[in-house]
Structure 1
Amino acid sequence: MLTYLKRFFLAPSTGEPLAFFRIAIALLGLVQGGWLAGSITLLYGADGLVPWSLSSGIVDPYMPQLSWLQPLVRVTGVAADTWVYVLMGLYLCSLALLLLGKYTRYAAFVAWALHFTFINTGFMAAYGVETFMHIALFYCIIMPVGAVYAWDTFSPHTRPLATEWNTLSIRVLQLHLCVVYIASGLEKAMGIQWWNGEAIWQTLMQGQFARFDMHWIASYPLLAKVIGWSTLLLEIGYPFFIWWRRSRPYAYLGVVLMHLGIALFMGLQLFSSIMIIFNTAAFGWPYLQQAYRSMVQPLRERKRLQRAGQLATQAFWSHFE
């Protein structure tokens, strides 16, 4: 038993899935920052949608928050919103360094701390993508995400080593996802709305989520029920389907399609993206590699044949020169 557990958690493996996790999370954070660029003061400013005077009374006073900048504002005379822009710029710079793999752990720590400060103050603390971004940045601090495809460790002459820490990190991601999905599925299953299709109907009809005119689904109540049942089956069954090797590719594909559906029909592109990143790093990386090879290898073979044909033609005509 101990031998099996040691092999399960500590068998050496490459760090490529963790490098993908680092790069994808940093890119997603930069994209999100670009989307918010025009609304930073509205979301996080001293007099924004959630003023500092209000957020400081809600959040635990020992938690980092932007209201801690007030003494600095009084001392320097620099406007509070200017400091918000400075911190947001520092946050985006740390994400850029994380993307490149330069000072990886330090960059991840700075990004995590600043992100924690923003979500303790701003308007989006309850948004799911913020929670998972906070978790992902913390994982980037403690996991060896900068061992491969990183500026700090790049060398054209050496191949990255397989270590037990890579495997342990991947297992943590995998077990975390299993807990997340089964907890979400069980919570949904305790209410009647996911069994009778009401949850699907309400989601598609809410103005903040609705992207298409879906009134026609009222004529097909069984369709809404099937979507709800499928969601419950996929989330509650996630730990079982994803661990069985034969069903794993179908479970991974099902989860990816579910989140793509959420992005398309509810407009939650960032949340769907971060969940797909988590699932790909934890379970889907071999299938991503396989898909890449299936596309790249035929192109390489075609170029090789073309080159061989060109050399044969040159050799043929060289006899007549």
Structure 2
Amino acid sequence: MELNEQPVENPSIRAWIAKNKSFGSDALSWIYRWFTENRNASYGLAVMRIASGLFILGWLLFNIPVAAKIWGPGSAYLEPYRSVLGYKWPLDILRDAGVGFFVFWYAVAILLAILFVAGWQTRIITPLFFIFYTAINAQNTPISDGGNYFIRIMLIYLIFADLSKRWSVDSWLRQRKGKKKREFEVVTVLHNIALCLVVAQLCLVYLEAGLYKVQGDLWQNGTAMYYPVSSEAYGIFPWLSGLITANSWIVSLITYVTVVAQIAFPFMLFHKISRRIALVMILGMHIGIAVVMGLPFFSGIMASADAVLVSSATWIIIQKWLAARWNSISPFKKSPQPVQEPDEIADDEPEKASATV
């Protein structure tokens, strides 16, 4: 052994503990700061609010011609099923309602959807929106798809989140008046808990769906996607479905990538590179479901929740790019850029959000 050569310590648990004595206290301190200092993912939650609200608004408007038959008095034949399902007041308020009251309720639900998208008084609008929208769905749950169930759960979480901090009427009014919003620590903690619940629910849905799929023989041999894609019950582009199912390699690739993307999704959120890959894979899956299988509402609702995992810096870049494109084609005079708040980027990095769940 040479004189200037330092002895090499063998790695051991005891040596690691000795070097990281403050690991536990540092971790607890970081968690405390994350939950109490800033309202994280405010841009992602704003995108989720706008996107999910637009999809629900479109769903309500699209179904106006048949609403009374499906959810109104015309759905009375489902009464035994509704009683067993167990929806309580106020979610069962439409059970014995007449046409007039149902039309009024439906119109208010549309108005609440518009206010929800606009981001006006979301602390009041969000719980009302949940009640009005869920009461309509409770009238005829058998025709609901996964998107209806998923957004109802998400709306419960979003009641406790600050949805109007960014890109909302409320934030525009504050900027116009030159006021800075007061943020109470308890409200900030509730906001961040709601964010964690949104991410946890996403992970649970994807992981459970992937684990359920992998148990089936059709998913194991790579042929599962052939049947829904080629079915006449799905799809609005038969030529596209035929193009996909014509090649067995494409069918197998789509089948296996779908399973891998869903099972691996929760575990890929802990690193920014793998998280981006996971989001691209999941977004591609949702686009495929929307276009090939003709389920835009389900895919749109799920993808809107994925927005909370995109970093605030990315959303700000997108905002600036869209503003530049608009200014280049708009005949009006360019408006000055709004002054950024000090916590514009640092307050809601999704790396922190994913690490807490």
Task: State TM-score, norm by structure 2.
Answer: 0.72
Partner of 2:264: 237
Amino acid at match of 1:209: Y
Which of 129, 132, 136 is the equivalent residue of 1:114? 132
Q: Tell me, what secondary structure is at the counterpart of 1:237?
A: helix
Decide whether the 8 Å contact of 1:41 with 1:81 is kept in 2: yes
State the alpha-carbon separation in 2 of the partners of residues 114 and 62 from structure 1.
13
Deviation per residue, 1:105-160 (Å, 9 max, x gap): 22212221122212221255541111122123222322111333443452222456
State the alpha-carbon separation in 2 of the partners of residues 191 and 230 from structure 1.
15
State the alpha-carbon separation in 2 of the partners of residues 253 and 218 from structure 1.
23
State the alpha-carbon separation in 2 of the partners of residues 268 and 54 from structure 1.
29
Which stretch has the larger CA shift, 230-239 or 156-165?
Answer: 156-165
The percentage of counterpart residues that share the same residue type is 19
Partner of 1:279: 306
Correspondences of 1:48-59 after superposition (within 5 Å): 48=75, 51-59=77-85
State the alpha-carbon separation in 1 of the partners of residues 130 and 113 from structure 2.
9
Correspondences of 1:93-132 after superposition (within 5 Å): 93-122=111-140, 126-132=144-150
Amino acid at match of 2:194: S
CA separation of 1:43/1:123 partners in 2, compared to 1, >3 Å: closer, same or farther?
farther
1:169 maps onto 2:169 in alignment? no
Q: Which runs of 5+ in 2 are unaligned?
A: 1-26, 329-333, 335-357
Which of 24, 29, 46 is the equivalent residue of 1:3? 29
Deviation per residue, 1:157-183 (Å, 9 max, x gap): 245678744544333322221122111
Decide whether the 8 Å contact of 2:244 with 2:251 is kept in 1: yes
Q: Tell me, what secondary structure is at the counterpart of 1:249?
A: helix
Q: How far did 1:67 drift?
A: 5.2
1:183 maps onto 2:201 in alignment? no
Which stretch has the larger CA shift, 190-199 or 178-187?
Answer: 190-199
Decide whether the 8 Å contact of 2:206 with 2:265 is kept in 1: yes
Q: How far did 1:266 drift?
A: 0.6
Decide whether the 8 Å contact of 2:95 with 2:139 is kept in 1: no
Q: How far did 1:61 drift?
A: 5.9
1:91 maps onto 2:116 in alignment? no
Amino acid at match of 1:262: I
Amino acid at match of 1:207: E
State the alpha-carbon separation in 2 of the partners of residues 91 and 280 from structure 1.
24
Give the total of aligned pairs: 294
Which of 260, 280, 299 is the equivalent residue of 1:253? 280
Q: How far did 1:279 drift?
A: 0.4
Partner of 2:224: 199
Query: Greater RCO between the two (CA within 8 Å, min separation 6)?
Result: 2
State the alpha-carbon separation in 1 of the partners of residues 311 and 143 from structure 2.
29
State the alpha-carbon separation in 2 of the partners of residues 13 and 179 from structure 1.
23
CA separation of 1:189/1:10 partners in 2, compared to 1, >3 Å: closer, same or farther?
farther
Decide whether the 8 Å contact of 2:116 with 2:122 is kept in 1: yes
CA separation of 1:47/1:175 partners in 2, compared to 1, >3 Å: closer, same or farther?
closer
Decide whether the 8 Å contact of 2:268 with 2:278 is kept in 1: yes
Amino acid at match of 2:316: Q
Q: How far did 1:197 drift?
A: 2.9
Decide whether the 8 Å contact of 1:241 with 1:248 is kept in 2: yes
**Which of the two has greater helix per residue?**
1
Q: Which runs of 5+ in 1 are unaligned?
A: 71-79, 302-306, 308-321
Decide whether the 8 Å contact of 1:148 with 1:160 is kept in 2: no
CA separation of 1:210/1:297 partners in 2, compared to 1, >3 Å: closer, same or farther?
closer
State the alpha-carbon separation in 2 of the partners of residues 35 and 295 from structure 1.
28
State the alpha-carbon separation in 2 of the partners of residues 149 and 215 from structure 1.
42
Correspondences of 1:266-305 after superposition (within 5 Å): 266-283=293-310, 285-294=312-321, 296=323
Deviation per residue, 1:269-288 (Å, 9 max, x gap): 11111111100123355433
1:60 maps onto 2:78 in alignment? no
State the alpha-carbon separation in 2 of the partners of residues 104 and 209 from structure 1.
36
Decide whether the 8 Å contact of 1:188 with 1:232 is kept in 2: yes
Q: How far did 1:5 drift?
A: 2.7
Correspondences of 1:207-246 after superposition (within 5 Å): 207-211=232-236, 212-213=238-239, 214-215=241-242, 217=244, 219-246=246-273
